[in-house]
Amino acid sequence: MKIPKRLQPLVEDGLVDEVIGRLMSGKEADVFTVRCGGQVRCAKVYKDSMKRSFKQAVTYQEGRKVRSSRRARAMEKGSKFGRKQQEDVWQTSEVDALGRLATAGVRVPKTYGCVDGVLLMDLITDESGGPAPRLGELTMTAEQAREGHEIMMVYIKRMLVAGIVHGDLSEFNVLVDEQGPVVIDLPQAVDAAANNNAEAMLARDVLNITRYYGSFATELLATKYAKEMWTMYEEGRLRNETPLTGLFEEPTEAVDLGGVLREIASAIDEEEARLARLLEAETDAGSG
């Protein structure tokens, strides 16, 4: 096939020997199968920000750290240089997330570097050597659904322990090979501790996966893994080895709003009295 413009520099530099074909076109990137030496791999070509259809990118970027203060200021101002830096952060964040999750025990594609907006990584294949199907393309028995769901809940837990929430997880960005699920597409992954939307995103990730597996094993729809995981995460009790039950008991005690307001009023009164005492002491000292 004709070599896409964005892949041409990688071919010229010898990083890619042959572009085999287009594998898929997504909302933030196009993916091609390429040959690198004797290996067939993926080349994920990120789309320019103006061409991406990924919504609410700013929501996902909250909490991402930039080491250079100059880059951070440029990104805040939205200058041409700043927009370029924002694109670099968007792309390299996926490489960082994939590396951290692999270390955490989550099955993700192995990466081979990100060059000029192109991420090289392993091609996940089926038993015949072709591209592995997405989870959403599969049908399964109730037992297979329960097993797959359990694996995915463990992966989501391990992501959270590593401080990462996928943010866009569903049956469409999980591949399934002979060994089971493989999580893909992480440029929008968020910092669980620094992003104010992390809890809501975790809940949505879990809901999406549970709804799909639950269409084959309906009892899964009653589980509450997201609340269980987030509660333990906030309390500092979540570990890779922490067992999950899918159970979570909602607080039953009604909030004593009147009591809360009284405590606030009392605190205000105490602060005003403290300031009055300080002012009186300063006045006495001045008159003396």
- The class (CATH top level) of 5-234 is mainly alpha
* Mean pLDDT to the nearest integer, 128-134: 95
pLDDT digits (tens, 9 = 90+) for 186-231: 988 999 999 999 999 999 999 999 999 999 999 999 999 999 999 9
What are the tokens at 254?
A: 């009604």
What integer pLDDT is reported at residue 75 of this predicted model?
44
pLDDT digits (tens, 9 = 90+) for 230-268: 999 999 999 999 999 999 987 666 556 777 677 777 778
What integer pLDDT is reported at residue 192 of this predicted model?
96
What mean pLDDT value characterizes the chain? 86
How far is Cα 23 from Cα 59, in angstroms, rounded to an integer?
A: 29
Distance of CA 217 to the CA centre of its chain: 26
Task: Report whether pLDDT(61) > 70.
Answer: no
Residues labelled catalytic:
168, 185
Q: Domain segments of the chain: what residues?
A: 5-234, 255-288
35 Cβ neighbours under 8 A, 6+ residues apart? 16, 17, 18, 20, 41
Strands 174-177 and 18-25: unpaired
3-state SS, the chain, equals CCCCHHHHHHHHCCCCCEEEEEEEECCCEEEEEEEECCEEEEEEEECCCCCCCCCCHHHHHCCCCCCCHHHHHHHHHCCHHHHHHHHHHHHHHHHHHHHHHHHHCCCCCCEEEEECCEEEEECCECCCCCECCEHHHCCCCHHHHHHHHHHHHHHHHHHHHCCEECCCCCCCCEEEECCEEEECCCCCCEECCCCCCHHHHHHHHHHHHHHHHHCCCHHHHHCCHHHHHHHHHHCCCCCCCCCCCCCCCCCCCCCCHHHHHHHHHHHHHHHHHHHHHHHHHHHHHHHC
